[in-house]
Structures are given as structure tokens and as C-alpha cells.
């Protein structure tokens, strides 16, 4: 396991086999969560809101933590934050040079590049509805924000992680975003 932190959000990644990716992700989440909430019950629950299956957003219902996970074979990347420091987080990963077919999702507009796609997916994960929101409805700003319809705005932060990957974190802090001040 390798790790970093971005604005207080702990991020870890590891290689895994395809059949072990969820268990690897859960192990990474538990490792980071144990540092942020020592002694807490770190049982992870996952339930798909569409099919009810044991996948989807990882939840730590007995710990004051938020978590997100992403997979791009052979990598698993996770993010964990304290609830007092984040209202929502989402993480996404793609392999550099990969070419997901995004044309139909964004037609007639041009699809985003991989950095833009990871930003959109991270924002949709942070929003909690995932791809139930059409990805072409997410707006990215040059200032590093993503806006999800009926879901609010998220800061978009690149993450230096596993070699050959593009990793993006979406983050919303508690309370209103600070208003930028101008310097004289």
C-alpha cells in the first residue's frame, strides 16, 4: 500500500487482481480509517441503490468517516476523510493512455479528456448518485470546481498516485465555500 494526503483527505492505492479488488479496497479503507478513528467499529457496508447488490459507495456507518473507492486494473485507489472535515468526497482513477468510449455519453459535444472524465466521475461519486446523473450534465470550471445538477459544487483536486494513473479527488467541505478576497 502506498499513500498520500490531499487537503486532509487520506488516499491510498495498491495493485490487486480483478477478483480481489473490492476486498483490497476495503482493506485500504480500513487501514486509513483506523488512523483517523482509532478504536471505532470499521465495518464497511456497500449496497447498490439500483440492484441492491453488495457493491457501490463504501459506507462506515459506525465511524465518523467518509470513504470512496475507484478501480482501474490493476489499481485500487481509496480516499477517507473525517466527517468534520468533509461533507462529501469522491475519488476516481483511469490508466494513462486508456481510451474509454465516452462519445455517446457526451454527444453531440466532444467528450472530456481523461483528467476531465476522472473529475466528472469523482464529483458524481461525491454527490452520491453516481452515474444515475447523466455525466454530460456535470459542469467543470477552469478554477477547479465541478457542479452536479441538484447536488452542489465540489472542489476538484488532482492526486499524484500510482505511476501511469490519473487520479482525481472531489471534495466538499462543511459550511459555505470561503469567498476569495482580492489583495490591493
Quick check: is 181 in a domain?
no
Q: Whole domain around residue 89: which residue ranges?
A: 2-172
pTM beyond 0.75: the answer is yes
Quick check: is 89 in a domain?
yes
* pLDDT per residue as tens digits for the range 7-52: 999 999 999 998 999 999 999 999 999 999 999 999 999 988 888 8
Quick check: is 180 in a domain?
no
As a whole number of angstroms, the distance between CA 131 and CA 153 comes to: 16
Domains held by the chain: number: 1
Quick check: is 28 in a domain?
yes
Amino acid at each position: 500500500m502506498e499513500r498520500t494526503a490531499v487537503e486532509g483527505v487520506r488516499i491510498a492505492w495498491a495493485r490487486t487482481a480483478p477478483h480481489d479488488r473490492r476486498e483490497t479496497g476495503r482493506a485500504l479503507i480500513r487501514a486509513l480509517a483506523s488512523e483517523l478513528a482509532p478504536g471505532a467499529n470499521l465495518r464497511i457496508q456497500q449496497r447498490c441503490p439500483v440492484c441492491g447488490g453488495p457493491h457501490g459507495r463504501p459506507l462506515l456507518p459506525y465511524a465518523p468517516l467518509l470513504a470512496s473507492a475507484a478501480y482501474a486494473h490493476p489499481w485500487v485507489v481509496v480516499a477517507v476523510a473525517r466527517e468534520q472535515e468533509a461533507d462529501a468526497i469522491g475519488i476516481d482513477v483511469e490508466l494513462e493512455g486508456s481510451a474509454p468510449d465516452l462519445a455517446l455519453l457526451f454527444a453531440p459535444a466532444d467528450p472530456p479528456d481523461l483528467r476531465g472524465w476522472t473529475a466528472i466521475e469523482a464529483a458524481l461519486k461525491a454527490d452520491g448518485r453516481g452515474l444515475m446523473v447523466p455525466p454530460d450534465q456535470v459542469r467543470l470550471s477552469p478554477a477547479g470546481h465541478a457542479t452536479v445538477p441538484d447536488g452542489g459544487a465540489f472542489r476538484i483536486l488532482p492526486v499524484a498516485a500510482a505511476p501511469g494513473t490519473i487520479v482525481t479527488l472531489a471534495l466538499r467541505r462543511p459550511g459555505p465555500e470561503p469567498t476569495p478576497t482580492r489583495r490591493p
